Structure 1
Amino acid sequence: MEILTQLTFLERGIIAGILIGFISPLIGAFLLVRRMTIITEGLSHITLTGITAGVLMTQSVAIFGAVNPLYTGLLFSLGGSLLIERLRQIYKYFEELAIPIILSAGIGLSALLISFSNSSYTEWYNYLFGSIVTVTISDLYFIGGTGIVAIGLIGLFYKELLSISFDAEFAATSGISIKKLNFLFSILIALVISMSMKVVGILLVGALVTLPVAAAIQFAKSFRHVLILGIIFGEAAVIGGIVSSYHLDVATGGMIVVVGVLLLIGAIFVKRMLRFSSDRAKEGHS
């Protein structure tokens, strides 16, 4: 632990980014299969509500002065993920309504709480769009702890998560508890969003979950390939974005997303070129 306290702000940001770049595509791959990638947008906004609540607590209640707002953000993210799951059960035939309901509530509450806060524009800007220079040792502990928990849960329940993602009905007949696995999956999504917001930013965290996976499926031939390639694209986007943002003095999260978009465009272009070359080769043989 002592070695972590000796890290510079840039080193802390890079370590946090590497952890996020590894875990986000893992969750993104499962969300892609379940066609639920949009859920990250709803949860990111309710997480912002938790952040603003935490900031207000530290400003107005002395006993909470040392509380890191990331923890309140995690609590709200967990609550929001469970509420989405509950709303999907209530609106059984209109499950897509759950996410905009949570998203709208998150935006409204966040705007209200921010108006009561004494924090500067810069602080909120960093939460919204990410900043590696603001990653503290406390943030790094939080990101590392939530990351370890997320990886552990994925490792322990990988087969079950895979089963309910591809064929929930078959998983149910096999004795797998769909309700418990959905609850677990909601926790995983909340963990990834809460750990990513300090580096990527609350408004952009969904992009880091989806863009690397979108690039990976251009080349992947199996779900395992999607996971591996997603991690590679995710790490490339994070490291490239952090280095670029530092040298260009721009928002970290925005730069990470831009690099991710460029990687996706590059992947689509390469895939089309490979397909074109393959078609030409077949025509030549015929």
Structure 2
Amino acid sequence: AMWSGLFTHLTESWNNFKGLDPDYVTWMDLMEKHGYHSQKFGKLDYTSGHHSVSNRVEAWTRDVHFLLRQEGRPTVNITGDRKLVRVMEADWRTTDKAVNWIKEEAVNLTQPFVLYLGLNLPHPYPSPYAGENFGSSTFLTSPYWLEKVTYEAIKIPKWISLSEMHPVDYYSSYTKNCTGEFTKEEVRNIRAFYYAMCAETDGMLGEIISALGDTGLLRKTIIIFTADHGELAMEHRQFYKMSMYEGSSHVPLLIMGPGVKEQQEIPNLVSLVDIYPTML
């Protein structure tokens, strides 16, 4: 939706496997046509063929008369010590590439530019311990980031019983391996680790903003921060996405730059499809 400016029923990009056609004209293509220099780094899975065969199949198994576990049980994992900042190394390498591009190339351009940086965080990490089709159910961080989270402020979501669940909710909870017993400590930890992963993501964004500031480009650059989905983090007895609940479908949309009023909140309902016309 973000790249095409069209809703799913028009592009028929129904799941992570089926995306846009390779020759689809995105907003970045149009900006190039109108004189912008463009550069992309990181996660770019808006075209078809990415992710697994499981992603291709699971969207069509909602009405079958049996249940399929498609994720490992959500869990947390602490790594490193208080000095470990770069937990998600792949995203940091991608961020470094973007920072270097800003400092070495963007600063010397004679034409306007548009830079896209796609990150995996704060997406949960793969869980190979769970076996075949293990999915991504591990919330991983270091003490450096976890110490930035205020545990006392974390709210434990209330759950209804499994028998009270709507069949669609039960299906989602089951496929995400969340129908078992979870202690309050487990739920709180999952949420805390997710917030810590968000803090690490924020650190990467800070590197981009710093690079723009160091090169004098910040004062004439518009920055847009958004995401393709949210994270339930054990709300409604689920983690991950694939739900129309607020935690899953609500994403951030932050804009800063020249001509953008500071601290302004827009109450209007917006969608990722609005990125396309906004960029143009």
TM-score by length of 1: 0.25
Report 1 or 2 for greater relative contact order, CA contacts < 8 Å, sequence distance ≥ 6.
1
Instruction: Report which of the two has the higher share of helix.
Output: 1
TM-score by length of 2: 0.25
